[in-house]
Amino acid sequence: MPRGKKIPKRVIAPDPIYHNLLIAKFVNMVMEKGKKTTAQEIVYGALEVLKEKKQGDVVKLFDTVMEAVRPSVEVRSRRVGGANYQVPMPVPSERQNALAFRWMIGAARARKGQSMMQKLSSEMLDILEGVGGTMKKKEDVHRMAEANKAFAHFARR
């Protein structure tokens, strides 16, 4: 039982160009050391490259990318009778977005020899094709959940 009162979620404003909440959250995740303008340049630049290559509405393309990356199940450690089990559990929507952002940004940063804008756009293009570091991470998480399906009965609380 948690102590104290529940802390309310901060409401963030939609991004200034596309008026989309998801893109605003993504910009905030890309941001380092409070440099929001730099993060916006990176994200909007990557989205422009995506728009040029895939010919379509930027917001719809970004939604498609996010849909492809969001995990539906993950494993969580659960201690039962002195043993730790990896129990597959459904992922709440807020966490789905957070994990998707984290994996996408991590995979983009792991790429070598380009600007962050180019790395991010390349990662998004790879996601649309179903390849790349982000998709590998999602598949690994789903594979782990599938492998530990036998422990699903421990999920109830």
Q: Are 52 and 125 in contact (CB under 8 A)?
A: no
pLDDT at 156 over 80: no
Structure confidence at residue 137 as a pLDDT band (50, 70, 90): very high
Instruction: Judge whether 107 lies within some domain.
Output: yes
Instruction: Judge whether 127 lies within some domain.
Output: yes
Instruction: Judge whether 12 lies within some domain.
Output: no
pLDDT of residue 40: 96
pLDDT of residue 155: 74
Counted domains in the chain: 1
pLDDT tens-digit series, residues 4-29: 999 998 899 999 999 999 999 999 99
Instruction: Judge whether 38 lies within some domain.
Output: yes
Domain span at residue 110 reads 21-70+100-146
Residues 86-103 have a mean pLDDT of: 92
pLDDT of residue 44: 96
pTM of the predicted model as reported, rounded to 2 decimal places: 0.88
Instruction: Judge whether 9 lies within some domain.
Output: no
pLDDT at 157 over 60: no
Is the four-CA dihedral 108, 115, 113, 60 of positive or negative sign?
positive
pLDDT at 153 over 90: no
pLDDT of residue 146: 87
pLDDT tens-digit series, residues 36-91: 999 999 999 999 999 999 888 999 999 999 999 999 999 888 888 888 888 889 99
Instruction: Judge whether 95 lies within some domain.
Output: no
What's 137's domain CATH number?
Answer: 1.10.455.10
